[in-house]
Chain A
Amino acid sequence: GAVVSQHPSWVICKSGTSVKIECRSLDFQATTMFWYRQFPKQSLMLMATSNEGSKATYEQGVEKDKFLINHASLTLSTLTVTSAHPEDSSFYICSAETGHDNEQFFGPGTRLTVL
């Protein structure tokens, strides 16, 4: 149980384009999902909390107009990196909370490379 999928697993795009990443909870419903980013040799940093049916909550320093989050259903949240630039190249990981003791399970991550 508690399986989270993410798609795509990797993407290479040109600077200025937009990239959409999907995060799905496969065997449970998640009213709350989270998006994290991890730069090489760094720890994961929370970007935003995605709430089903309402606006996402962004962490300080994360541009909400650049990182668009949509959580349209209890099993799907999407992150769109708009007008991507090379400095956005990173490992983006989503997680979903099962509702048990704040435990979160992570998707396999999406490695984004912006040329």
Chain B
Amino acid sequence: RKEVEQDPGPFNVPEGATVAFNCTYSNSASQSFFWYRQDCRKEPKLLMSVYSSGNEDGRFTAQLNRASQYISLLIRDSKLSDSATYLCVVASGGGADGLTFGKGTHLIIQP
């Protein structure tokens, strides 16, 4: 079983629409959760951390469900510039741990 699973997509979404991604993780001891964005042939960039209480940053909302071990990302009023691959990322420990990445969900915003 993969540690972090995501639907690879692609998700083709019209500009202005709302789109949501889910991600599941297998390690119940995981402590930190993130969404990263990766553009083609570029390094991942931190989009947002995901907290148990959920968090919102502008058009982006992240939710964590520890009981079901899934994380979600909601993008409202999508822009063409939101086209990218969104990586669900999990860290298992409280100390300095490498991150475990999902394979990413490819999002294409269409004009």
Point out residues on A near B: beta carbons under 8 Å. 31-32, 34, 36, 42-46, 49, 51, 59, 91, 93, 95, 97, 101-109, 111
Q: For B43, give its contact among A31, A32, A101, A108 (CB under 8 Å).
A: A108
Q: Which residues of B contact A106 (CB under 8 A)?
A: 43-45
The answer on a CB contact under 8 Å between A46 and B100 is yes
Closest B residue to A6 by CB, please name it.
B43
Majority secondary structure of chain B interface residues (helix, strand, loop or mixed): loop
Return A28 CB to nearest CB of chain B, in Å: 14
In residues 70-101 of chain B, which contact A (Cβ within 8 Å)?
87, 91, 94, 96-101
Contacts of B101 in A (CB 8 A): 43-45
B42 lies within 8 A of A108 (CB): yes
